Amino acid sequence: MIYIAADHRGFRLKEEIKKWMESEHYEFRDLGANSYEKEDDYADFAIKIGEKVAVENGRGILVCGSGAGASIAVNKVKGIRAGLCTFEKQARAARNDDDINVVCLSADAVSVDENMKIVSVFLATMFGSEERYIRRINKIKKYEAEIG
């Protein structure tokens, strides 16, 4: 399952991404915000999407103004490998090499068109499964297990 969420600064972009995903017949679930709420907080949506993606082995699309706050918050959830992506090549490498399961987007610094390309690449690219990539991810998983 693909999950999508955004705070107030990412709300409009999230709605555009949803329209595109519907047109491409992706199955997804919107975890909020359900309306523009100027006082909402990215951390609430980041934790919600992180928990869903981690438990269900899904993928997530998370949007805030800079993308940085959402990335910081969602990466606190055990099992999440989120990356802030600002261009297509970065998204492709993040999926192929690092197996990110959540892409974080900047609604303020990146155009709608470029963000749509990033989402498309994120959803279309599979993990490369090369030994070195697996080794690196396993080190992260080991560390997560050690710290609880």
Count how many Cα atoms sit within 13 Å of the Cα of residue 140 in the half-sphere of its side chain: 16
What is the edge-to-edge ordering of all strands in the sheet holding 102-106? 28-30, 2-6, 59-64, 102-106, 82-84
Specify the residue for token string 């975890």: 31
Q: Read off the pTM.
A: 0.97
The answer to whether 38 and 135 are in contact (CB under 8 A) is no
CB atoms within 10 A of CB 69: 19
- Two tokens at 27? 């199955």
pLDDT at 89: 98
Spell out the domains of the chain, with CATH numbers in brackets: 2-147 (3.40.1400.10)
Task: Please give the sequence-ordered ranges of beta strands (E in DSSP) within 15-88, or none if there are none.
Answer: 28-30, 59-64, 82-84
Q: What is the reported pLDDT for 72?
A: 99
pLDDT of residue 148: 78
Q: Tokens 């997530």 appear where? A: 60
**How do the residues of the chain divide into helix, strand and coil, expressed in percent and rounded to 5?**
50, 15, 35
Q: Which residues of the chain have pLDDT under 50?
A: none
- Dist. CA 93–CA 26, nearest whole Å: 22
